[in-house]
């Protein structure tokens, strides 16, 4: 699957970023969100605001500490969720946290272990294929 980078306004300028549309499913239904594909992220991280809207709870989740780029530590809740990208569905853990400034970051655990991603920055494209 080929995805173009998405142009977004950040800090008064427009930047092209590797952002893709993805669905997250929970007991209360699904949420369609835009997710940043981040090969430097150890885990996939989802905004804590989406936890309740998916019908999920932090009550049985594993509490983890995540550290962002600035070194600030924050609490997160590790929960198994169902993901969907195009025709592909998979279940993987994701961390729900207030530490993200976007709806979702797709990282090593939860995304890159299921897909091979080729970034073509000069063309502002990503080639994403299911790992075999």
Q: Please state the domain extents for the chain.
A: 2-130
22: pLDDT confidence band, cut at 50, 70 and 90?
A: very high
Q: How confident is the model at residue 9 (pLDDT cuts 50, 70, 90)?
A: confident
Looking at CATH, the fold of the domain delimited by 2-130 is given as Cathepsin D, subunit A; domain 1 (2.40.70)
pLDDT digits (tens, 9 = 90+) for 54-86: 998 888 888 988 877 667 778 899 999 999 999
| Token reading at 55 | 């019908």
**Residue 17: which H helix or E strand, with range?**
strand 13-17
4's enclosing H/E stretch is strand 2-4
CB burial of 108-128 (b: ≥16 within 10 Å; e: otherwise) equals ebbbbebbebeeeeeeeebeb
Place of tokens 């924050």: 74
Q: Residue 21: pLDDT band by 50, 70, 90 thresholds?
A: very high
pLDDT in the model for residue 69: 66
pLDDT, tens digit, 9 for 90 and up, residues 36-56:
999 989 999 999 989 888 998
Q: Is the pLDDT of residue 125 over 90?
A: yes
Res. 101: pLDDT tops 80 = no
Pick 12 or 112 by higher pLDDT: 112
- State what percent of residues in the chain have pLDDT above 90: 67
């Amino acid at each position: 699957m080929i995805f173009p980078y998405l142009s977004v306004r950040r800090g008064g300028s427009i930047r092209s970023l590797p952002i893709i549309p993805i669905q997250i499913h929970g007991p209360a239904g699904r949420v369609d969100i835009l997710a940043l594909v981040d090969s430097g992220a150890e885990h996939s991280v989802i905004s804590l605001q989406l936890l309740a809207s998916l019908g999920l709870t932090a009550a049985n989740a594993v509490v983890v500490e995540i550290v962002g780029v600035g070194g600030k530590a924050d609490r997160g809740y590790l929960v198994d969720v169902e993901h969907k990208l195009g025709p592909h569905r998979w279940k993987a853990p994701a961390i729900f946290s207030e530490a993200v400034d976007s709806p979702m970051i797709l990282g090593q655990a939860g995304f890159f272990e299921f897909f091979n991603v080729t970034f073509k920055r000069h063309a502002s494209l990503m080639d994403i294929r299911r790992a075999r």
